[in-house]
Amino acid sequence: MDDRSGLTDAERPRVEVRRLPGSPDLAALADGTEDVVWLDSGLPDGTPDTARARAAWSVLACTDGPFAARLRHERRRARVDVSAASRAWFGSDRSSDAPAFAVLDDLLARTPRLPEPVRGCGFALGWVGFLGYELGRESGGPDRTADGHADADLRFVDRAVVVGPDGGAWALALVVDAEPAASAANRAWLEEVTVPPTRADVAEAPPGLPAVAAAGRVSRAAYEAAVEACRGEIREGNAFQVCLTTAFAVPGLEAGVAPGTDAHLAEYLRLRAADPVPFGAYLRLGALRVASRSPERFLRITADGVVTAEPIKGTRRRVADPEADAAARADLTTSAKDRAENVMIVDLLRNDLLRTAVPGSVHVDRLCAVETYASVHQLVSTVSAVLPVGASRAATVRAAFPPGSMTGAPKSSATAIADRLEAAPRGVYSGAVGYFSASGAVDLSVVIRTLVTVLDEDGRVVSRTLGAGGAVTWSLVPADEADEVETKTRSVLGGVGAVARW
């Protein structure tokens, strides 16, 4: 990411930092903010160091600061809204039919480059939000748009709180000499932001949540038939692996939320308490609520251009009995099917990264390593590369989008097969959530195990869906794949008092 903004010294921003006392309750801060993006890292005790490094930092990004800007891409049109104080960087409000990644590339080029304000944390303010699965049409995927919400919503944020691995917290705010009023407002926010008390009424789940049905978009028999159709495509040589997904309609919110709180945030906190993950996220963006319990990183790019992908393929549920749990872990370790799924996606990602990386720099750092979390054992691989100096971060993400673990291989044919069989857009699910920092760093998770809610103008729920799916290869049994889909819904549906029925 190179800074081509051509700003004068007076127009060039800087980040002011305040170390906060104690460890703040980011949930309470999120509850007191309008639109918000909370990138929520957390892992239970005993997590391996390789996984713990992914969960080192959490970011609570406030979208209502005086330098705010927004990129929203919906129905193939981009809308850029810019506050008066940030027009020197991003220009005026505008709309166009330009591709989302092209508009993002332009906005990142206009974003002034800022140094890392807190050592070890790549986030230096910048653009936060989501890229929906349907943006894959810009890199050769099926030509669809999301249903009921935008394909992408990214906000430029000038205020944030970051929390590090030891619980230390810092407030960050943007200031610039050419905008004294906006800078004064941000300095005032910086001094006023406090550590709220723990909100037990929000964090604790109401007892005895009833098990209500989350209805499948298709029947189990229809899903198994689609799996068999994928096997037919593989037999004909049209793909090696197809990520076939479906969705479940989740019933309305349960009672037990304190008055004046964000009920969807309260629901997210119940999920969070039950299953800590490295890439949790809660987004409140206009009429959209996204509650993600993702364990998977899509891409990380450091400020100096090292890019890393960490695909997950292969999962076993943990069980209470230690011997049975060890047996489940051993079964995953030796499973030829699961290793084959993982290796196929690793090979796909090597190709994706090579499109924008320095030739010869792509390496597989880990292959099919088993990591154990609170509820699952998983096979995780790590692929890394080095970008040329000044490489476009938007171009690097576009070249690898959608995440390979959610497409199959080869990507273009696998996504076409899945789209024909699913016959519906995926939306936020299977896309990416995270940030494009003003430091040049990028960190994006894969949107899985995620509840997506769309509201109407009066705040009533229009739709609440949970996507789930699995990798189809030749050797599998369709009924087993349907069982895997049900298993993948449990960590989210259990936290909201629902169970999959299809």
Task: Please give the positions annotated as active site.
Answer: 296, 313
**Structure tokens belonging to residue 152:** 């992408």
> What is the three-class DSSP state of 311?
coil
Q: What H or E segment, with its residue span, contains residue 249?
A: strand 241-249
**Structure tokens belonging to residue 246:** 């479906």
Sign of CA pseudo-dihedral 485, 491, 493, 494: positive
Q: What is the dihedral of CA 70, 74, 78, 79, to 10 degrees?
A: -40
CA distance 166 to 39: 17
Sorted by sequence, the CB contacts under 8 Å of residue 226 that are 6+ apart come out as: 218, 244, 421, 422
Ramachandran quadrant class, 440 (left: phi over 0; alpha: psi -120 to 50; beta: rest): left
Please report, in angstroms and rounded to a whole number, the separation of the first and last CA atoms in the chain: 46
**Structure tokens belonging to residue 11:** 């127009």
**Structure tokens belonging to residue 441:** 């760093």
State the alpha helices, DSSP H only, in 423-470.
none
Q: Are 487 and 496 in contact (CB under 8 A)?
A: no
Of residues 70, 106, 98, 112, the one with CA closest to residue 440? 112
Please state the three-class secondary structure of 273-307 as a single string. HHCCCCEEEEEEECCEEEEEEECCEEEEECCCCEE
Ramachandran quadrant class, 454 (left: phi over 0; alpha: psi -120 to 50; beta: rest): beta
Token match 């998977």: residue?
296
> What is the three-class DSSP state of 477?
coil
Q: Are 346 and 381 in contact (CB under 8 A)?
A: yes
Residue type, 237: G
Angle between helices 220-235 and 411-422 (to 10 degrees): 150
Q: What is the DSSP letter of 484?
A: H
Of residues 185, 184, 187, 156, the one with CA closest to residue 171? 187
Residue type, 112: P
**Structure tokens belonging to residue 374:** 């609170």
